[in-house]
Amino acid sequence: MEIPDLYGELKDNDFQKIGSFIYKNYGINLYPKKKVLLKSRLQKRLKHLGISSYSDYRDYLFNNKEEIIHMIDKISTNKTDFFREAVHFEYLEGIIKNGFANNLDNNELLVWSAGCSSGQEAYSLAMTIDNLKSEIGYKYRIFASDISLSVLKTAKEAIYPFNLLNQIPLVFRKKYLLKSKDKTNPRFRIVKELRDNTEFSFYNLLSKDAFSKLKFNIIFCRNTLIYFDTETQIKVMHNLIRHLKKGGLLFLGHSESIINMGLPLETVHPSVYEKK
């Protein structure tokens, strides 16, 4: 359905220039069929800024770095769940029990949740790893990143609606969740210990300056590559691999493929890869 022209027409030329800029810098492809969606999502932003047309907004966007972040926030996709594709967490638990976390640098397991959305994946990792901490005897830190400031805010607060509770295994609900006493707005929060071990930050997967020289034992980047074309996927994969330790594991979504990319990775489990 066509969006009313409250701010005039989003001209093809403006749409193409905005789309080209976003693709070049963030790898997100705004296909022509997304023009109506973009127009709809930008209307509130134009109203907030007091800008009267999409052409004026285009000029404002290209001359204001902070606005670029707001723009990306409007167009990014943020689909996630606790323990999504649960077989990955089962596999992770198994390899840690079988010695993967032995001989860590500084006895610390470093994990990156890349494209973390509102934090459910990062906290699922934290629960899985923390639950084995006393048994294995190691420290851990989880770094989580996304390009959407709004979902990062939710992730840092770690407060979620009660209807998500059933996504979390019962043993973890008892150990790692704080339940709200407000029956009119039932919610739960991740316990402080897990929050303290999980750091959220803004990061563009096409950037090469993530985390300085930090290298990870485990990287989860699942159901993110599907939003990129092949050229962008290869760039993202090289950036991820650059931050993965030799012998470290990269977890991708089950629907994602890296066949014929020529990467230094070996499949060790469905959609799990070891850096050689």
Q: Which residues lie closer than 8 Å to 101 by C-beta, 6 or more apart? A: 109, 132, 136, 138, 217
Q: Where are the beta strands (DSSP E) in 151-197?
A: 159-161, 177-179, 187-190
Q: For residue 148, with 0-12 CB atoms within 10 Å meaning exposed, 13-18 middle and 19 or more buried, which class applies?
A: buried
Q: How far apart are CA 52 and CA 50, in angstroms?
A: 6
Give me Rg for the CA atoms of the chain. 20
Whether 41 is a known active-site residue: answer yes
Instruction: Based on the residue annotation, tell me whether 187 is a catalytic residue of this protein.
Output: no
Interacting residues of 113 by C-beta distance below 8 A, sequence separation 6+: 121, 122, 125, 142, 143, 144, 145, 220
- Tokens in use for 214? 């930090």
Strands 159-161 and 177-179, by their bridges, are unpaired
**Exactly one of 14, 130, 146, 195 is catalytic; which is it?**
146
Marked catalytic residue, from 41, 141, 173, 189: 41
Count of CA atoms in the C-beta half-sphere (13 A) of 145: 18
Enzyme catalytic residues = 41, 146
